[in-house]
Structure 1
Amino acid sequence: MCGALVGVATLIQSSCVRPRPAPTAAGFNLLLITLDTVRADRLGAYGYRKIETPNLDRLASEGVRFAEAGSPVPLTLPAHATILSGLLPPRHGVRNNGAERFPEEPATLATRLGAAGYRTGAFIGAFVLDRRFGLGRGFDHYDDDIPQETNAGLDAERPGRVVTDRALAWLSEKREKPFFAWVHLYDAHAPYAPPEPFRTLYADRPYDGEIAEVDAQVGRLLGELAKQGLAGRTVVAVVGDHGEALGEHGELTHGLLVYEPSLHVPLLLRVPGVLPAGWVVKTPVSLVDLAPTLAGLLERPLPAGAEGSLGGHDLSTTLRQRREPAAEDLYAESLYGTTFGWSTVFALRRGDIKYIAAPRPELYDLGRDPGESHNLEEHQPGNGKELATRIAALAESAGNSAAPAAMDAEARARLLSLGYLAGANLAGAKNTQGKDPKDAVVLFRGFEEAHWALVDGRLADARGRFEKLVGADPTNAVFVGQLAETCRRTGDLQRAIALYRQAVAIAPGDRDARYNLAVTLQEAGRHDEATEALTAAIRLDPRRPEAHNALGIALALRGELEGARLELAKSVELDPHNARAFNNLGNVLRDLKRPEEAERAYRRAAELVPTYADPLNGLGTLEVQRDNPAAAISYFDRALNIAPQLHWRSSGITRPPRFRTSTVHSTSPRSFT
């Protein structure tokens, strides 16, 4: 009897007990730090002992470290599009750097948290994530202020110290609302040139030195949270966008191949009071899961529909319950090879088994073969059939391609200075018939070496290397086009023209080759041919702003001012940040006797680039025409202070005795840029 009573009492007691709810991070701030080009195995927390990364290691000990986090693509822009949206590249449509713009429709962390009342700010380390590529949507403040002087092609990135300074200034603003801050640190990207003291400490391992510098900047950001008393109420997520091959599998950097050195990235998550300190999640996870998980932790879930075959999973409940996530397939792709006319490559990892879909397929057991050196598909063909079928199904369920990004010549030059070709010949995800990228890796390595020589201004070295590449692969339009560009820069315009014609013959749809042929003809003084070539280039790519700018110049030099005005107006419509095009439009409007419109165009050019002399000269010219010499001289002096080396024609206006020349010139080849 007593036993029965005890049993009933126990039953009653147990029925009244409710499971203790898992703690949440509702209302917390969010600090997302993305580490560009950082391999997981180069951090102390992941077992590396040749570099000191105390801040990242401490963060790992205070939060959760994901031992096996995988990037879906070894390229900066598409990887960040996935990090912010929780969608795989086939779903959001951004497959390459510089080729597409992230679409307007998908929700992102910024749009979701901004709508929930968060203050949102982003701080960008390289032009590859410039707002023109669409990731700025939802941010109140998008700091991508990388120098855009008219000759700043190489200033396509800025040091992490500068990025962190900007972020710290924003974080120090006292506001009542919670914040979401995204800080992008680009330092570990090639070429590796760490600042002191890491330049000296890691003189023989500059990549490690760059990561040490990145760690220092992470420390500054974490220190600011502690200083403001915000550390206990801030979710901190640190993640690599992709890794770096460092010569493994023959690849110097990243982008072409989908082996683990380029895909395995660090992922650290600290949520005080919510997630346990020092926990290591061993189940492989994808970066596509990060956005829905962060939104879930903050109890601001992304809209329904973000999950699915091409969307990530919200792991927040699982993590708060301190359980390992369920196993999932990890998808990865690279379409970068299609830029060279080579095949796409896709990968799918299921547990330790990884399949690579390529002209010569590959299958690896990462548990036994982490270096991916023993291709099981060569010895047991067909074992990866199930994974191959899954990849094909994912490809079939892909959404529409993202819209092309608006890219002018400067933008392409800035991406080139970062080592990216801006998807010049991107053939799309269906190009599976070209050369297998792993069989082209020697050519790709040669291309990278030639490219960096070109970027560094070692033109003779670059020309010799590109000559060898063209000799090895004479039907590769990219190699031929880059040799043409090198010839153009060395002043060999006739050889450059011949090579560009060869590139167009190889790839008639190559928009860059057609455009570059046209502008080289223009440089060579072959204006009629240039006009014809520019017209053809615009037919192929009507949204290319610099082509309209170049055609406008060509028409103006032929005296066809109204046609020139229309082309230049189209150029600034497509790219409202192009100071050169606005200046050229001002020149044409001035000669069309439309001074008010000309003044607006010149002023816009001067606003866009305050250190650009030409629009100041144009404004001075207008003041001469208005018989206002004092104002004219003021503009001319400002122009000469910026560019004293320029030659200016005399206008005949009267100047104070200490001045001997004046600075107005009419529409001429020298007027246009």
Structure 2
Amino acid sequence: MPHRSSRVTSRWQAALILGLFGLAVATSAAVGWRYARRSSPHLGPLVLLSVDGLRTDRLAAYGGGDGSTPAIDALAAESLVFERAYAHTTQTLPSHASLFTGTLPPAHGVRNDVGFSLGREARTLAELLDARGFDTGGAVSSPLLGPDSGLNQGFTVYETSLEADAAAGAVTTMRDGELTIDAIEPWVEGQQDQRFFLFAHVDAGPADAALGRLVDLLKDKGFYDDATILVVGAHGDLSGDDPLAERAVRVPFIVKQPDAAGAGRRVAEPVQQVDVVPTILDLVRAPTPDGLAGRSLRAVLDGEDLEPPPSGIYSESMAAHFRLGRPPYVALLRDGVRYVRTENERLEAVDEARPADVPPTVLDEFRRSADRLRTGPGTRTPADIPEALADRGASLGWLDMLQPPVTSEPAMTTRESSALLRELSGAALLAAGHQYGGAAERLGHVVGRYPWLAPAWYELGQVLLRAGRTPDAVRAFHAATTARPDDAEASVALAWALLRDGQA
């Protein structure tokens, strides 16, 4: 009798175990099914459109606009709109390096529009998607993003040719955005399935027409409904004297999902350019590399809430540093407050509910955090502009530069440095058009006001050499070495000019 009771108990235990196992399997299947529905990999086209200089307050989606951007407005109506998105730099090339790598400028090392390029060791978004079987095509409107920039890594097609300017002697610096879309159209037309990544870069002026052209192209091919389209600003409005004003780094960030999922939703929490790479990788369920500065926004696209970035949002402006020897300009947004350091430092309340009047200990923490983010493994000095690219650099407003000084130089206001950068860029543009007399005159006015400014003397010497005025160039380079006796580049330039003048 005890044996029979034991057998009954064993059968009962076995049944219980099988029942619990079945319940666990069913529960796991249900959870897995729900997870799979929520997180299934993206199968349609991925499209990234970057726009230089597009201000949010010019768009209806951000509470502005005058009806002049119907294509952007129409896309935004079918999209999720991030109300507060920020760029990490005020320059085109470094911004795109962050967009493509998901890392900050101090990490990827591209700190200025000229003199820098993305290193081969960087892993770009195009490379990561290519490894997942995506065809990759890109087209850009500026020579700043050409093959020498390093941004073409991972692209099967990377269209960079610029239309010749009709004006005699003029140098084309920006292709019309519609022509950029036309240039990549054959590649899009040749796509046999939807597994492709398309990148296009345009300037703010023709951005709406270019986006309209792009949307029409995708619709004609039957790709639009299934596509995920991201429109992200490269940098904001740079017309003012404050290089890190919020309008200079605040950019549009609009995401149209397949079948317009989430259309009309708005996200108030701040996001940043480095969020693009982890978000796209998450959409296709690709592994995320270590060392990315951003976070995936996929959960937000799926309807969940977004927490603020834990380290804040870092931005920098290095043009005055590399060209004028000014201190690096940096900003850090965190907890509704922006810390900005240019020639001086200030705090700005971005969120009206959080005043910028913070204790000194918090200000010290902002300083330390900004300094920690400003330095990184990619920190390096700019390379010289090759002679073969001198005219292209000048057409973009840049002549060959001295390295930033080791020691501090006389104080200058941010307004002064911004005005000086505009004057130097204007002189470079004149030089690009071979108007060397005008360029030299403009630079002469600069050194007349700032005789201690070695970079201006150095640029003046370059222009005078191009004009064939070698004795005058010798005097300019001599003034540069007087202003910076320890600068090797100025000394080498002086020696070269003396050789050309027959004095050495």
Corresponding residue of 1:613? none
Return closer, same or farther for 1:453/1:230 CA change in 2, 3 Å cut-off. Answer: same
The residue that corresponds to 2:364 in the other structure is: 385
Offset at residue 388 of structure 1 (A) = 1.3
Deviation at 1:180, TM superposition (A): 1.0
- Whole-Å separation in 1 of the counterparts to 2:407 and 2:333: 22
CA distance in 2, matches of 1:486, 1:402: 27
* Equivalent residue runs for 1:63-462 within 5 Å: 63-146=79-162, 154-176=171-193, 178-185=195-202, 187-188=203-204, 210=205, 213-247=206-240, 250=241, 257-273=243-259, 275-303=261-289, 305-307=290-292, 311-328=293-310, 329-339=312-322, 340-368=324-352, 384-395=363-374, 398-401=376-379, 407-421=385-399, 424-427=401-404, 435=411, 438=414, 440-455=417-432, 459-462=436-439
The answer to whether the 8 A contact 2:112-2:318 is kept is yes
Q: Please state how far the C-alpha of 1:178 moved relative to its aligned partner.
A: 1.5
- Provide the TM-score with structure 2 as the length reference: 0.83
- Residue 480 of structure 1, CA deviation: 1.4
SS in 2 for 1:183: strand
The answer on whether the counterparts of 1:82 and 1:88 sit within 8 Å (CA) in structure 2 is: yes
- d(CA) in 1 for partners of 2:345, 2:413: 11
Distance 1:338 1:403 in 2: 11
- C-alpha contact (below 8 Å) 1:360/1:436 kept by paired residues: no
Q: Distance in 1 between matches of 2:479 and 2:353?
A: 44
Q: Is the 8 A contact 1:65 1:281 kept in 2?
A: yes
Q: Find the residue that maps to 2:232 and give its secondary structure.
A: strand
1: CA distance, partners of 2:345 / 2:501: 49
1:222 shift after superposition: 0.9
* Aligned AA (2:450): D
| CA deviation string 1:366-386 (max 9, x = no partner) | 23499xxx9969xx7665222
Instruction: For 1:179 and 1:44, locate their aligned partners in 2 and report how far apart those are by CA, in whole Å.
Output: 30
* Cα displacement (A) at 1:405: 5.5
- Structure 1 residue identity aligned to 2:273: L
The 3-state SS of whatever aligns with 2:120 is coil
Indicate if the aligned counterparts of 1:30 and 1:234 stay in contact, CA closer than 8 A: yes
- The share of aligned pairs that are identical, in percent, is 27
C-alpha contact (below 8 Å) 2:314/2:332 kept by paired residues: yes
- Please give the alpha-carbon distance, in whole angstroms, between the structure 2 residues aligned to 1:266 and 1:170: 27
User: Which residue identity lines up with residue 81 of structure 1 in the other structure?
Assistant: A
Instruction: Return the alpha-carbon distance in structure 2 between the equivalents of residues 266 and 510 of structure 1.
Output: 42
Q: Secondary structure at the match of 2:225?
A: helix
On the 8 A contact 1:132/1:405 being kept in 2, the answer is no
Letter in 2 for 1:389: R
Tell me, yes or no, if structure 1 residue 29 matches structure 2 residue 45: yes
Q: What's the offset of the Cα at 1:313?
A: 1.0
Contact 1:63 1:269 in 2 (8 A): yes
Deviations 1:422-460, CA, capped at 9 Å, x for gaps: 6x23439x9877746615334334434444455556555
Deviations 1:465-490 (A, max 9, x none): 32221121111122112333444455
Separation in structure 2 between the aligned mates of residue 410 and residue 435 of structure 1, nearest angstrom: 35
Structure 1: runs of 5 or more not aligned: 1-11, 189-209, 252-256, 530-673
RMSD: 3.4
Residue 483 of structure 2 is matched in structure 1 by 506
2:17 counterpart residue number: none
Q: Distance in 2 between matches of 1:432 and 1:382?
A: 27
Offset at residue 516 of structure 1 (A)? 5.4
**Does the aligned pair in 2 maintain the 1:341–1:434 contact within 8 Å?**
no
The one-character-per-residue Cα deviations of 1:509-545 (angstroms, maximum 9, x if unpaired) are 76765665566557xx53674xxxxxxxxxxxxxxxx
In 2: Cα distance, 1:69 partner to 1:501 partner: 46
* In 2: Cα distance, 1:483 partner to 1:406 partner: 16
Spell out, residue by residue over 1:380-420, the C-alpha distance to the aligned partner (whole angstroms, 9 max, x if none).
76652221121233345x11436966741232331221124
Query: For each residue in 1:182-201, what CA deviation from the matched residue of structure 2 results, as whole angstroms up to 9, or x when unmatched?
Result: 1111x34xxxxxxxxxxxxx
Contact in 2 for aligned 1:338/1:426 (Cα 8 Å) = no
Distance 1:144 1:403, change over 3 A: farther
Post-superposition offset of 1:75: 0.8
In the alignment, is the contact (CA less than 8 A) between 1:44 and 1:52 conserved in 2? Answer: no
* Secondary structure, aligned partner of 2:115: coil
Tell me by how many angstroms 1:124 deviates. Answer: 1.6
Tell whether the 8 Å contact from 2:471 to 2:501 is kept in structure 1 after alignment.
no
Aligned-partner residue type, residue 526 of structure 1: D
Shift of the 226–260 alpha-carbon distance from structure 1 to 2, 3 Å rule, reads: same
Provide the rounded CA distance (Å) in 2 between the counterparts of 1:79 and 1:336: 13
Q: How many pairs are equivalent?
A: 472
Task: Find the residue that maps to 1:494 and give its secondary structure.
Answer: helix
User: Among residues 481, 493, 505, which one is paired with 2:458 in the alignment?
Assistant: 481
Following the alignment from structure 1 to structure 2, what is the Cα–Cα distance between the partners of residues 235 and 513? 51
Aligned in 2, Cα 1:147/1:59: closer, same or farther, shift over 3 Å? Answer: closer
Of 487, 501, 504, 1:526 maps to 501
164-173 vs 354-363, greater mean Cα deviation = 354-363
Aligned to 2:20: none
Q: Deviations over 1:100-141 (max 9, x none)?
A: 221222322111111111111121211111212211111111
Distance 1:123 1:520, change over 3 A: farther
Match of 1:206 in 2: none
Higher relative contact order (CA 8 A, sep 6+): 2
Distance of 1:24 and 1:511 partners within structure 2: 57
Between 477-486 and 101-110, the greater mean CA deviation after superposition: 477-486
Instruction: Report the Cα offset of residue 462 of structure 1.
Output: 3.8
What is the match of residue 447 of structure 2? Answer: 470
CA deviation profile, 1:576-617 (whole Å, cap 9, x unmatched)? xxxxxxxxxxxxxxxxxxxxxxxxxxxxxxxxxxxxxxxxxx
Instruction: Point out where structure 2 has 5 or more consecutive residues left out of the alignment.
Output: 1-22
The residue type equivalent to 2:451 in the other structure is P
For 1:237, what is the secondary structure of its paired residue?
Answer: strand
Calculate the TM-score normalised by the size of structure 1. Answer: 0.63
**Offset, 1:274:** 7.4
The CA distance in 2 between the partners of 1:269 and 1:432, in whole Å, is: 44
Distance 1:435 1:154 in 2: 35
Distance in structure 1 (CA, Å) of the matches to 2:395 and 2:468: 20
Matched to 2:236, the amino acid is G
Please tell me the residue identity of whatever aligns with 1:83. L
